Structure 1
Amino acid sequence: MPKNALGAAGPAVLALVLGLWGITREDSMWRDEAATWMAAGRSPAGLRHLLDHADVVHGCYYLLMHGLFEVFGPGLVTLRLPSVLATACAAAATAATGRRLAGPWAGLLAGTAFVLMPSTQRYAQEGRSYALVVAAVAVATWLLVTLAQDRPAARAATWRWVGYAGAMLVAALLNWFSLLALLAHAVTVLRAGRLGAGRLPRHWATAAAVVVTGALPLVLVSRAQARQVAWIPPLTWATAPAPLCLLGTGLLCGLLLRRRPGAPARTAAPAVSVVWAGLPLLAVPVLALLAASLIKPLYIDRYVLYANVGLGLLLGAALAVVVRSWRPFTALFLAASAALLPLHLGLRTPQSRVDDVLAPADAVARVSRAGDGVLFIPSLRRDTAEVSPQLFAGLDDVALVRSPADSGTLRGVEAAPARIREAMLAERRILVVGDPEDHPGGPGDATKRRVLAAFFVRCADAETRGRRVQVYERGTSCSSTPARRL
């Protein structure tokens, strides 16, 4: 039997080791992380100016990262280390919860299964808030379980409820989609109430009310920026299988555990089982967001990443049952874990993300000349210059009239199409940073493409890690070499 400390510390150490492994991802940074980098690098006043226009839902996370950048300096490790540490915390909390509910082996296996999930590994090394949200929900779930199982004295219970409300409020302020975890906890609490958990439902309702009240201003303010999630595609039969597969796995584990519940928890209190703690946390947030997406597309797996905690609890308890009944399964589990190694290796490469904002900046630095113009198509690809401003020094941002920092945005404000045309025609050589494939954009982007096609010739072209860098020269021929790849 694993020791008590190993039950929680083992998965936490595993999460820490895997999180630090390849943390710089071959010196790459994708567009979402670039948003964190740009926001964290601004002054408090500049950050507030940004949140007035965009990303207010991430405001608390940006403020945290701003503080870390100020103390430790900007860098890829500083950007991603909070997510690594949060994942280790979530692994420990998941293991501790599993141990409480189904015994030591269930706890150890629950934490390990949580850590090894590909989606956990992906966001453990990402400079965004999602791993921190998972950690807060995992800690809150553990506290709720201890309250249901221990039924502590009034003073001790009060502090645990304060901790529960605090953890859930932190999760909500980092991303208010975590409020869906409250619905999952409500199912667990109602089940515990039916089994005689005393005042647990009443106390939980009070804590939940505090969390919702604290998060409500952020929810209301962020609704004014709802256009920022307009990019989320509608649900289709092609996107539904992934969440449904996870739900199916959790349900199968639940059915197994109902037939063979495994080792009892440390306490004899019948307040809640691993099924009634894990299955709601897995299913309720996912199903709620899927249902909401039938009205307005909102479903993205990272918004409910904390459902992995519920799945980890179910997998851990189910695996513990199988291990006890069939010892050779241990070797099978280790083999299955090893089979995930190629996937984990892939997650640590730049190709695992949709793009890399650093590589095109290096390409621009190689081919640019002092006084060249530069265009970004679409304007959001200006993040390349914002993250690596030293590599764009001496270049003229042809379309820009207000910088991202000055305008309180992440893309800046560009001139009217007529002004963009006039500015382009004043350039002899223009570098273009954009996507590998042209996508319909606004009037300004259409003007950029028309002027380039009519008055410039393409002299160099390169696709680099999900971005495209092109060199155009005015006239009908290139001054040096014909069109080539960079």
Structure 2
Amino acid sequence: MAVNRVTPMGDTQDPFAAPGSWFGSLRWVRWVKNHWLWPVLALAAFVRFYDLTAAAIWGDEGSSLLLARYSLSEIWKHAAFDVHPPLYFMLLHGWIELFGDGILAIRSLSALTGIAAVGLGVWLVDRLATRRAAFIAGLLLALLPTAVRYSQEVRMYALLGVLLLAASVALVYWIRRPQRHRYLLYYALLMSAALYTHYFAVLAALCHWLYLIAIRVQRGYRFRHIQRWNWWLANLAIVALYLPWLPNLLDLLQHMEQLKAGGDVGWEPAVTLSSLPSMIWSWWIQDDGETLPLLMFAALPLAFLALAVVAVMRDRSVSRGSILLALYTGLPLLLVFAVSFITPVFIERYLTAYALGLPMLAALAIDRLYSRVRLLALAVLVALIGVELVGVNNNATVDSNDQLDRVVNYVNQHFLPGDRIVTSDMLWYLSYVYYDRSGAKVRLYTPPTPSGQPTRPNEYGFGTLVTGDVYLDSLAELPSAGRVWLVGSVDGPDEFAPLPATWQVSAETHAGGIKARLFIPNPSPG
């Protein structure tokens, strides 16, 4: 294993740097080839590809697939009315063109970017601390349950993690070698791509600015990078690259009430003080932990707070990279938590990219404990891995025989020409159409409220993905003759009630929380 040299700044010198990009690339390839990174990536790949196709496509994934079917120009147009920017959907569009829309193919995009995020996390910690810390970070990142989960969904969250970690790596390289302007070019491009992937990427930019301020005002060696003209130029470039999308963002903000009315934002329950520790538990075991005894419920969040303090306080490097990771993890978590008392957006998947900072921060603390209290460090590492394995197991607990696709396949097999298919909910509709092979136009039931108010989605959020002829306001609009499939929830009251008196159930199946009933008109009821 190569030994890093120490720079006058007190940090390890970049092993990839050489006079010329060609030689630098060769050294990077040689480092990867001979590195212990491969077992870590193999572990990350195993847990992300394991049972990748077991869970059926759910509503949000279905919305990604519907949007990706449009041309690139139409994706730009429709994403302007959605709650997420267009980059991921454009990439998914191209991915489907290359590999098809099979469930393994479409989820592989997120799985591969999730694996890449692990590699980038190792790379970042390797630049900030020791190889031992980097290995620990890689191990914890590979098994991080929230990262595994969203590396198995057709959504943009794994991609966002890759882009933000890559931007952080570029920032660290530029801090060490500010004369290398290409690092800021990489940073500007990566942060721009992140902003075109998810609006919460702006929180990472805020963390980077605060980190530069922190190392500017620290005692001893002060980094004046925040005063450099090229840093300001790079951020102006990010703003310039984002200007084409800015009018769409401003329009979206003006129509937040319509998004709330459609259930696309603010649908989460209001936060409480327990929501913050619950988020930590969700990241690590895929359960909010609120049924645990109070002392146990508080133990994990407090343990991570203690590890963060150890990582920061025992950081003897001049550039204080632990501050970067502490900001990257803690600031978005706290800001979104605070904002959610006004508008509930404290959603695990929105913060998964920032959850990646927690294993890296823990790795720094464990590495620094190891040099003084080896037994304690090993105990902490084993405990964290044990907790993660609980979450990984929770992710993998999927009954493939109790999934929505079983219901849709049943309808596909028993469908006859002329049959009608009606779903009761937008999320069911978005999932259903992915598996539908009937060739019929699947309808979405949108009956008016008792007061006569329409329930059709507006043009914002999911409503931008379907045309008006999909909506069905009354079952009476269907032809009086012919068979009808009604697809709705298993639990709760019948969303289609009252049914026409002449309809009789001919067949029924249910799985994955939904049921499909086949109705045949009987001209002589009773």
Instruction: Give the structure-1-normalised TM-score.
Output: 0.81
Greater shift in the superposed pair: 287-296 or 249-258: 249-258
Contact (CA 8 Å) 1:370, 1:395: kept in 2 or not? no
Kept after mapping to 2: 8 A contact 1:31/1:383: yes
1:224-270, Cα deviation, whole Å (9 max, x unpaired): 56303142332235533323667644421122235544xx66xxxx1
In structure 2, the CA distance between the partners of 1:74 and 1:478, relative to structure 1 (3 Å rule), is farther
Deviation at 1:39, TM superposition (A): 1.9
Give me the whole-angstrom Cα distance separating, in 2, the residues matched to 1:250 and 1:206.
36
Distance 1:248 1:167, change over 3 A: farther
CA deviations over 1:25-50 (Å, ceiling 9, x no partner): 26x22221111222222334554563
Partner AA of 2:62 in structure 1: A
Aligned to 1:449: 497
How far apart are the structure 2 equivalents of 1:398 and 1:170? 34
- The verdict on how the C-alpha distance between 1:394 and 1:184 changes in structure 2, with shifts beyond 3 A counting, is closer
The match for 2:439 is: 393
Structure with greater proportional helix content = 1
Unaligned runs of at least 5 residues, structure 2: 4-30, 282-299, 447-455
Deviation at 1:456, TM superposition (A): 2.8
Residue of 398, 406, 409 corresponding to 1:359: 406
Q: In the alignment, what sits opposite 2:93?
A: 66
Q: Distance in 1 between matches of 2:312 and 2:390?
A: 34
Shift of the 438–377 alpha-carbon distance from structure 1 to 2, 3 Å rule, reads farther
Per-residue deviation, 1:281: 0.5
Spell out the pairing of 1:78-477 with structure 2 (5 A cutoff).
78-148=105-175, 150-152=176-178, 154=179, 156=180, 158-195=181-218, 196-202=222-228, 203-215=230-242, 217=246, 218-223=248-253, 226=256, 227=259, 228-237=264-273, 239-243=275-279, 248-258=302-312, 260-261=314-315, 270-274=318-322, 276-324=323-371, 325-327=373-375, 330=378, 333-334=381-382, 337=385, 340-341=388-389, 343-350=391-398, 356-390=403-437, 392-393=438-439, 397=443, 409-413=464-468, 420-424=474-478, 426-438=480-492, 448-452=496-500, 454-475=501-522
SS of the residue 2:418 aligns to = coil
Q: Report the counterpart of residue 40 of structure 1 in structure 2.
A: 68
Percent identical pairs in the alignment equals 22
Q: 1:257 to 1:340 in 2, by over 3 A?
A: closer
- Paired residues of 1:188 and 1:272 also in contact (CA < 8 A): no
Mapped to 2, the partners of 1:124 and 1:415 lie a distance apart of: 31
Q: Structure 1 398/310 Cα, relative in aligned 2: closer, same or farther at 3 Å?
A: closer
Deviation at 1:465, TM superposition (A): 1.1
Q: Residue deviations 1:83-140, cap 9 Å, x none?
A: 1222222212211221222211111111221221110110111111111100111111
Q: Per-residue displacement from partner, 1:129-161 (whole Å, max 9, x unpaired)?
A: 11110011111111222222x234x2x1x1101
Report the count of equivalent residues. Answer: 452
* TM superposition shift of 1:468: 2.1
Q: SS of the residue aligned with 1:432?
A: strand
Aligned equivalents of 2:139 and 2:336: distance in 1?
27
Range that drifts further, 340-349 or 298-307: 340-349
> 1:298-332: CA deviations, max 9, x gaps?
22122122212321221111222344432585477
Other structure's SS at 1:426 match: coil
1:13 and 2:42 are equivalent in the alignment: yes
| Distance in structure 2 (CA, Å) of the matches to 1:335 and 1:415 | 51
What SS does the aligned partner of 2:328 have? helix
User: 1:50 matched to which residue of 2?
Assistant: 78
Contact map agreement 2:502 2:524 (CA 8 A) in 1: no
For the 8 Å contact 1:11–1:88, the answer to whether it is kept is no
Separation in 2, partners of 1:134, 1:345: 22
1:260–1:385 Cα change, 3 Å: closer
The Cα shift of 1:411 comes to: 4.3
Structure 1 residue runs of 5 or longer lacking an equivalent are: 480-486
Give the match for residue 484 of structure 1: none
User: One-letter code of the match for 1:135?
Assistant: V
Equivalent-residue separation in structure 2 for 1:45 and 1:89 (angstroms)? 28
Residue 57 of structure 2 corresponds to 29
For 2:84 and 2:169, locate their aligned partners in 1 and report how far apart those are by CA, in whole Å: 26
Secondary structure at 2:275 match in 1 = coil
Note the aligned Cα RMSD (angstroms): 3.6
Q: Is the 8 A contact 1:357 1:383 kept in 2?
A: no
1:345-372 deviations in Å (ceiling 9; x for gaps): 44245469xx955232112124433332
